[in-house]
Structure 1
Amino acid sequence: MARKWNVRLQHAATPMRAVALSCGLLAAAALAVHAPPAHATAGDSATRVEARVTSDTAKTKYPIVLVHGLLGFDNLLGVDYFYDIPGRLAAAGAKVYVAQVSGTNTSEIRGEQLLQELKTIRALEQNPTLKFNLIGHSQGSPTVRYVAAVAPDMVASVTSVGGANGGSKVADLLAKLPEGGIGQTLVVKAVGLLTGLIGFLSGKDPSQLPEVPLNALASLTTAGGAAFDAKFPQGRPAPGSSCDVKSGAAVANGVRYYSWSGVSTSFNLFDPSDTALSTLGSLFFFGEANDGLLAVCTTRLGTHLGDYRQNHLDEVNQAFGNTYGSQFPYYEKKPPELFREQAARLKSAGL
């Protein structure tokens, strides 16, 4: 069983991320219309994961830091957002931290929170020049991209998993709700309540990690994604590139960039998230390959590592490991294997 050590507090844990997160990812994508600016504050809640080491296949030179997406958390009532993934990486020799940033805020503010956590880890490791291998899911991808752009000396690599790099059409529709109208008000209140509950159950300090749903939505629209790309283009395909262009620059400012994505929502009859995400995919993407919340073309970053029969939650082995890959292993690799392979790839690259 993997053990987790908070930067300040030690606590036992087992690898979740509930189906509520599927609705949350979608709702929060809707949450960011025209929001007032918020101030980033220092986060110090990164969690170190330890497990009985059985191999060194994932023993990277630099620590791996996993960064959650919208409405995310590190651990909720004993269940990991990256379900069963941190422990497997640690068992394969990796030094693994799981970050905790605001569940609903701009990618830049989340990035500043992550930057402070990395500085805290450097101090704990007593290594002021330590670099990190950052892996971000969903909005976690632009979050880690921000850190790599503003502090490349701290980052060895960035890996985007189902990354919200170009925004989402789901967020676009939510952003079109009349500002201040009953529709937007209800969505914001609902997401606010859900965010508060997740924060309480996962131990987030709202004074350290403020939640501003409308800020999140502003970042997650396609216009928000384009604006972010204009400021932080590292690793992204050139603006206007066709969907046939699957990779961006492999290296920028000394940082390696990678990505993989999910492209399916309806192969696993035993996965409750498939129904909701299949419906969203059909409504919003009209035949485009997608994971239920993001068109695959918008997720590309750096070296393209592949597209898999996974929905947006499958990408982090949710719900509870009940993914297409785990049901039909002879077709594709299970999500934890993809993370372990990426760690091995980083190790081979000297990272």
Structure 2
Amino acid sequence: MQRNATTRYPILLVHGLFGFERIGRFELFHDVKQALRDVGNRVFVPQLSATHDNEVRGQQLLMQIDRVLAGTGASKVNVIGHSQGALACRYAAALAPEKVASVTSVSGPNHGSEVADLLRKALVPGQIPERTAHEIATQFANFLTLLSGRRTLPQNAVAALGALTREGVSQFNRTYPQGLPTTWGGQGAEVVDGVRYYSWSGVLPAAPTENLLEFNPVHRVCRVLSRHFTVEAGQNDGFVGRYSSHLGSVIRSDYPFDHMDSLRRTHGPSIDPIELYVEQALRLRAADL
């Protein structure tokens, strides 16, 4: 029997750093968008700068929220942000809470990323061991070669990287603290200024099979980057630490996913990441959002 997971307000799926349309055969948000539409939702995917700071991307999101509201006649939207997209969603909700019904952070670096810290330091010679800097820079470059998409909006990779470091996000959080936990690893306020806040994320599962490493290059990159976490060693998805992702009502932060698994269907016996978005739509519907 088809579940009724139609939300009151339209849903916007907001991409993160180096937002793209496809990785090989994989279209970003394709499965998520289709699953949400299948249960009756109006779903939109705004295009933000692939690389820029949180405020610039947040302003772009606000403009596209206005377009969705004008086009649909809705009074608010539900925003779901993946990775850095969560920070753009938080910015929009802070500046225009009357237009945002809910913010859902999926694998969002709400307290910054240790990988961003290391990558930022790698831009300054002598700050970290050369071998470490070389490995991180190489793996990150390998990851970027997998990404493609439009680059019509302004881009600033250095600003984006700085905005994702723990220091950069800490500064952002001082201005936009809505939904943040008051204790490390805790939950934040679920409702702030009439906006509901939710989050979920994953950690890398046990050592993968050779087949997974061979046929999933993104997972391989996440594995390598994961080695450089210290604060959340063994408790991260390759880009974002488990507790760094916490925001508002934490649905769960240890799903067996790498950073990109939270956007696609996995082929193993574990939890279907796409089903989580349908469950969230049901949750929003129950809250009359």
Normalising by structure 1, we get a TM-score of 0.71
Contact 2:50 2:151 in 1 (8 A): no
Equivalent residue number for residue 268 of structure 2: 327
Equivalent residue number for residue 221 of structure 1: 165
Partner Cα distance (1:160, 1:305) in 2? 10
Equivalent residue number for residue 280 of structure 2: 342
Equivalent residue number for residue 154 of structure 2: 210
What whole-Å deviation, never above 9, does each CA across 1:244-267 have from its counterpart, x for those lacking one?
A: x1x100000000000001112445
Equivalent residue number for residue 249 of structure 1: 189
Instruction: Select which of 220, 224, 239 maps to 1:293.
Output: 239
Q: Are 2:121 and 1:176 equivalent residues in the alignment?
A: yes
Deviating above 6 A after TM superposition, structure 1's stretches of 4 or more consecutive aligned residues are 180-184
- Match of 2:240, SS? coil
Partner Cα distance (1:78, 1:291) in 2? 22
Flag structure 1 segments of 5+ consecutive residues without an equivalent.
1-53
Q: Which amino acid aligns with 2:94?
A: A
Contact 2:36 2:43 in 1 (8 A): yes
User: How many residues are matched?
Assistant: 274
Give the Å deviation of 1:274. Answer: 2.8
- Match of 1:124, SS? helix
Give the Å deviation of 1:178. Answer: 4.8
Partner Cα distance (1:112, 1:294) in 2? 24
Equivalent residue number for residue 160 of structure 1: 105
Q: Which amino acid aligns with 2:269?
A: F
Rate the CA distance shift 1:75–1:152 in 2: closer, same or farther, 3 A: farther
Q: Which amino acid aligns with 1:313?
A: M
What whole-Å deviation, never above 9, does each CA across 1:267-315 have from its counterpart, x for those lacking one?
A: 5534423322122212223634111111111100000101301110101
- Match of 2:275, SS? helix
Equivalent residue number for residue 18 of structure 1: none
Contact 1:59 1:94 in 2 (8 A): yes
Partner Cα distance (2:157, 2:125) in 1? 14
Contact 2:17 2:50 in 1 (8 A): yes
Partner Cα distance (1:121, 1:75) in 2? 23
For residues 178-193 of structure 1, what are the structure 2 equivalents within 5 Å?
Answer: 178-179=123-124
Give the Å deviation of 1:121. Answer: 1.5
Partner Cα distance (1:335, 1:84) in 2? 10
- Match of 2:237, SS? coil
Instruction: Select which of 252, 256, 267 maps to 1:309.
Output: 256
Q: Which amino acid aligns with 1:218?
A: G
The CA RMSD over aligned residues, in Å, is 2.8
Give the Å deviation of 1:60. Answer: 0.3
Flag structure 2 segments of 5+ consecutive residues without an equivalent.
none
What's the % identity of the aligned pairs?
40
Rate the CA distance shift 1:242–1:337 in 2: closer, same or farther, 3 A: same
Give the Å deviation of 1:79. Answer: 4.2
Instruction: Select which of 170, 174, 186 maps to 1:230.
Output: 174
Partner Cα distance (1:204, 1:275) in 2? 26
